[in-house]
Amino acid sequence: MNAIEFQPVERPLSPWGLPASASRGRRHPEAAHPLRGPFERDRDRIVHSGAFRRLIAKTQVFVGQPDDLQRTRLTHTLEVAQIARTIARHLGLNEDLTEAIALAHDVGHPPFGHAGERALAERMQGHGGFEHNRQGVRVLDLLEHPYPEFAGLNLSIEVLECMALRSHEEHPDLQSLRTVPRMWLEGQAVDAADSIAYNAHDAQDALRAGTIAQEQISQLNVWQAAVEHAKIRHADLGNGAVQHASVLRAMLDMQVRNVISSSKERLQTISDPQMGRRAANDLICLDDFHRQQKAELSQFLGEKVYRDDRVQQATRSGAAVIGELFDELTTDPSSMPESFSKRLAHESRQRVVCDFIACMTDRYARNYRLRMAKS
C-alpha cells in the first residue's frame, strides 16, 4: 500500500480573500505542515495558548458574572468567531485567517474589563502607556512562550498586522505592523462581528441581570425591527428570557445578513486582497441604515448598562485591585513568577509588572492581592 501524501486543504476564495499561499510568513521561518496551512496553525496556536484559556475568567461587562450565565471574554470571543466565520464564508474570505484573528482579538484585555484597562493605562502614564490591542500583539508575539527557540507564538504576519491595526493609537511598537490604512478584509469581518456580537449579548446579559428592563429596550427601533423579524419564524415569541433570546437572535440574523449583502456590493470593485486594505473605508460592515439602528442600541447600552451603578461599582473595585497590585509590585517585584521577573533585566519594572497584571484573570488578581495583603 502506498503511503498517503498529506497536504493542507485550501478552500476556494473570492478574488479579495487572502489565500494562505500569499502569506508573508513568520518572523522565524518554519517548515510547512503536512496537514494544516499557516492560518490554520495560527488559529490552533492561539487556542492552545495560556492567554486564550485565561479569557474564561476575565470580565466582559459583568464582573463576577452575577449568575454564571453572563458572558466572559472567552464566550464573547467564541461568539465573535462564529459570526465572523459566517460572514467570511459568504463573502469568500479566508475563514482560517478570519477565525485566527477572531480568537486572538481580545487576548490583550487585562482583568476587570475596560475599568482594568483604564487603571493600567493610568499607572503606565510616562512609562509607555497601556492599550489592550497593543497588549494583544505583545501577548502573541512576546509573552506567550511555548517554543524553546523563540518567544511568542510566531504567528503569520497577517494575523499580527490585523491585531496591530485594531489599535487606535499610533505607537512606535506597532509601526512595523501598521504599514497600510486598514486591516485585511478578514480582519474587517472580525471587527464587524465583534460589535454585532457584544451589542446583542450585552443586551441579553443586562436583561438577565435586571440592569435594564424590557420596557426600556423595546422602545428602540432596532428591537422593534428584530421583533418583526422574529415573528417570521415564531408565531408566539414567548415571555421573559425566551422572548429576549428570540428577539436578539433575530437581531443578530438581520445584522449578519446585512453585513454580507451590503459588503458584497462594496466588494464589486475589488479585484484582489490588497485593494481591500487600501480602500478609503472599511468594506466589510453594515450599511448606513443598520449602522444607525445599531448605534442607537450602543448608546442605550452605554447609558443604561456600562454606566450603571452596580456595574460601575464592581468594575471600580476591580480597578482598585489592579492599582494596588501595580503599586506594590513596582515597589517590590520579588513575588512575581520567574517567567516575568527574568525580564526585569532588560525592560522597565513598570512594563514587566504591567504585563504580569494584564495577563491575570479577575480571580487570580483578587487572590494575588489578598495573598500580598497577608504577607
Tell me if 212 sits within 8 A of 303, measured CB to CB: no
**Cell numbers given for 122:** 493610568
Of 81 and 230, CB closest to Mg ion: 81
Q: Give the integer Cα–Cα distance in Å for 1 and 23.
A: 35
Place of cell 408566539: 236
The piece of 31-39, 98-106, 251-259, 296-304 that touches Mg ion (CB under 5 A) is: 98-106
Q: Indicate left, alpha or beta for 223 from its phi (over 0: left) and psi (-120 to 50: alpha).
A: alpha
Kindly identify the residues of this chain, within the stretch 243-302, that bind Mg ion according to CB under 5 A. Answer: none
Contact letters for Mg ion, residues 319-348 (x by CB under 5 A): ------------------------------
| DSSP three-state, residue 255 | helix
The piece of 127-135, 178-186, 188-196, 241-249 that touches Mg ion (CB under 5 A) is: 188-196
The sign of the dihedral angle between the CA atoms of 215, 217, 220, 223 is negative
**Cell numbers given for 240:** 421573559
Give the total of residues touching Mg ion (CB under 5 A). 2
Kindly identify the residues of this chain, within the stretch 7-66, that bind Mg ion according to CB under 5 A. Answer: none
The piece of 55-63, 102-110, 236-244, 338-346 that touches Mg ion (CB under 5 A) is: 102-110
Written as one letter, the residue type at 253 is: D
Contact letters for Mg ion, residues 148-187 (x by CB under 5 A): ----------------------------------------
**Cell numbers given for 238:** 414567548
Q: Shortest Cβ distance from residue 76 to Mg ion (Å)?
A: 6
**Cell numbers given for 272:** 484582489
131 near Mg ion, judged by CB under 5 A:
no
Q: How far is CA 59 from CA 63, 109, 316, 326, in A?
A: 5, 9, 12, 19
Of the residues 40, 96, 194, 308, which one makes contact with Mg ion according to CB under 5 A: 194
Question: Which candidate, 115, 53, 306, 292, places its Cα nearest to that of 202?
Answer: 306
φ, ψ at 82 (rounded to 5°): -75, -35
Of the residues 42, 99, 106, 186, which one makes contact with Mg ion according to CB under 5 A: 106
The piece of 191-199, 224-232, 254-262, 352-360 that touches Mg ion (CB under 5 A) is: 191-199
Of 197 and 267, CB closest to Mg ion: 197
CA end-to-end distance (rounded Å), the chain = 66
Of 194 and 362, CB closest to Mg ion: 194
The piece of 106-114, 177-185, 249-257, 281-289 that touches Mg ion (CB under 5 A) is: 106-114
The piece of 146-154, 192-200, 264-272, 281-289 that touches Mg ion (CB under 5 A) is: 192-200
Q: Shortest Cβ distance from residue 358 to Mg ion (Å)?
A: 16
Written as one letter, the residue type at 230 is: A
Q: Shortest Cβ distance from residue 294 to Mg ion (Å)?
A: 15
Instruction: Name the maximum alpha-carbon separation found in the chain.
Output: 69
Q: Shortest Cβ distance from residue 60 to Mg ion (Å)?
A: 8
Of 336 and 359, CB closest to Mg ion: 359
Helix axes 349-359, 113-123, angle to 10 degrees: 170
Question: Which candidate, 195, 157, 162, places its Cα nearest to that of 181?
Answer: 162
The one-character DSSP state at 307 is T
Q: Shortest Cβ distance from residue 80 to Mg ion (Å)?
A: 6
Of 186 and 194, CB closest to Mg ion: 194
Label residues 173-183 b or e (16+ Cβ within 10 Å = b). bbeebeeeebb
The piece of 21-29, 190-198, 256-264, 320-328 that touches Mg ion (CB under 5 A) is: 190-198
- Which residues in this chain contact Mg ion in the complex, by CB under 5 A? 106, 194
